[in-house]
């Protein structure tokens, strides 16, 4: 069973912008239950369908397949305005791939970094501009940012540690 093992963090500065060019991403959720979510994503002209299980710790099952961009666009249209729009910066740091997402639309102002690992417990170092870890904090899950976008959070929620 394919596993996604990731840690997610708040970002303290824009230093990551000098490390790569951003890639525009749109994504929506076609199905959500207490055990699974089914996501469609469009990166430029490339589409993906991803089925993810509920997160347990830092791991979850993940099944992903590539689809034509046109089909991803059609599926995204079925999501209406319930979509995530973001710009992603991807780069290597200490031999691991990091991704920083700058959210747009109703989630403007939220910037998250994540690193995917090969196994749970893998030791890794963080760039100096990576802040508080929010792994496992449900309000930062993309699927939840559609229901309760960052712009709807109180200033206290935005400033509080998870």
How far is CA 91 from its chain centroid? 15
Catalytic one of 16, 29, 89, 140? 29
Which regions of the chain does DSSP assign to beta strands (E)?
3-11, 23-32, 36-43, 46-53, 59-68, 83-93, 96-103, 111-116, 130-133
Three-state secondary structure call for residue 81:
coil
Structure tokens of 43?
Answer: 């990166």
Residues 138 and 156: their CA atoms lie apart, in Å, by: 17
Backbone angles phi, psi at 146, to 5 degrees: -75, -40
Catalytic residue status for 140: no
- Residues catalogued as catalytic: 29
């Amino acid at each position: 069973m394919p596993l996604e093992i990731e840690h997610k963090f708040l970002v303290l500065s824009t230093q990551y912008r000098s490390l790569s060019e951003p890639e525009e991403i749109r994504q929506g959720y076609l199905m959500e239950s207490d055990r699974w979510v089914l996501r469609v994503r469009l990166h430029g002209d490339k589409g993906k369908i991803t089925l993810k299980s509920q997160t347990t710790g830092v791991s979850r099952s993940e099944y992903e397949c590539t689809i034509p961009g046109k089909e991803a666009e059609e599926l995204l249209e079925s999501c209406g305005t319930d979509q995530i729009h973001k710009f992603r910066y991807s780069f290597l740091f200490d031999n691991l791939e990091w991704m920083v997402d700058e959210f747009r639309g109703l989630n403007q102002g939220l910037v998250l970094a994540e690193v995917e690992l090969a196994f749970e417990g893998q030791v890794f170092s963080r760039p100096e501009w990576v802040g508080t870890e929010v792994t496992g904090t449900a309000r930062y899950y993309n699927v939840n940012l559609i229901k309760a976008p960052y712009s709807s959070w109180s200033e206290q929620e935005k400033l509080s540690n998870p």
